[in-house]
């Protein structure tokens, strides 16, 4: 109701506007897109001592949640691993988010369901990274996958692009608005 009465609606991404339109009968079309600010100086990989990129570091970086696409990503990697793909996937980020349908944390669910792949070092879970250590830890990533199912516009996309990383992002969400497919990343 409040959106219908608004004189103007400001959104950080076109994705959010499209989502609002599917969920509410909006009569006004007076939307303005004002992206969230990002200061590249806040994250930089200059003068890192982490060494060269390791060819085997395919990384998911962010909170392990359904919204961020964690289950979907792991389903696809399981299929790849079962067919002989031998490159590991690194999951970096908070694992303590509770998945309420199961009443357990995402980390616990993933460790149980993918125990075989963790034992075979195909799935490597790392916990949160302090903001001051992001650039150094992610310097080893060859590609960072952002498979969000319905994110507004995750800051991790900006952070990884500022580090010069190849990003692979889903088209569902605002992240696809800042990545030009084949130019500065890939959209799936």
How do beta strands 166-169 and 143-146 pair? Answer: parallel
* pLDDT, average across residues 138-163: 82
At residue 49, the pLDDT reads: 46
At residue 33, the pLDDT reads: 80
**Are 60 and 95 contacting, i.e. CB atoms less than 8 angstroms apart?**
no
What is the longest distance spanned by two Cα atoms in the chain?
A: 56
pLDDT interval class at 34 (50, 70, 90): confident
**Are 64 and 97 contacting, i.e. CB atoms less than 8 angstroms apart?**
yes
Round to the nearest angstrom and report the end-to-end CA distance of the chain. 34
Tell which residue, 152, 151, 157, has the closest CA to residue 69.
Answer: 151
pLDDT interval class at 56 (50, 70, 90): low
pTM above 0.95, yes or no: no
pLDDT digits (tens, 9 = 90+) for 78-105: 999 999 999 999 999 999 999 999 999 9
pLDDT interval class at 114 (50, 70, 90): very high
pLDDT digits (tens, 9 = 90+) for 4-24: 677 777 887 777 777 777 777
Three-class secondary structure of residue 40 per DSSP: helix
Mean pLDDT of the chain: 83
């Amino acid at each position: 109701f409040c959106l219908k009465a608004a004189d103007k609606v400001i959104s950080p991404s076109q994705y959010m506007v499209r989502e609002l339109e599917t969920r509410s009968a909006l009569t006004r079309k007076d939307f303005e897109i004002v992206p969230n600010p990002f200061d590249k100086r806040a994250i930089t990989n200059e003068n890192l001592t982490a060494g060269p990129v390791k060819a085997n570091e395919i990384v998911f970086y962010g909170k392990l949640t359904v919204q961020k696409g964690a289950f979907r990503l792991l389903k696809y990697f399981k299929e790849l691993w079962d067919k002989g793909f031998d490159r590991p996937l690194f999951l970096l980020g908070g694992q303590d988010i509770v998945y309420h349908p199961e009443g357990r944390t995402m980390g616990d669910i993933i460790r149980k369901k993918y125990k075989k792949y963790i034992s075979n070092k195909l799935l490597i879970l790392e916990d949160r990274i302090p903001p001051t250590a992001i650039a150094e830890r992610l310097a080893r990533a060859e590609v960072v996958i952002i498979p969000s199912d319905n994110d507004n516009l995750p800051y991790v996309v900006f952070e990884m692009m500022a580090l010069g990383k190849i990003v692979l992002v889903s088209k569902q969400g605002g992240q696809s608005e800042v990545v030009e497919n084949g130019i500065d990343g890939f959209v799936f």
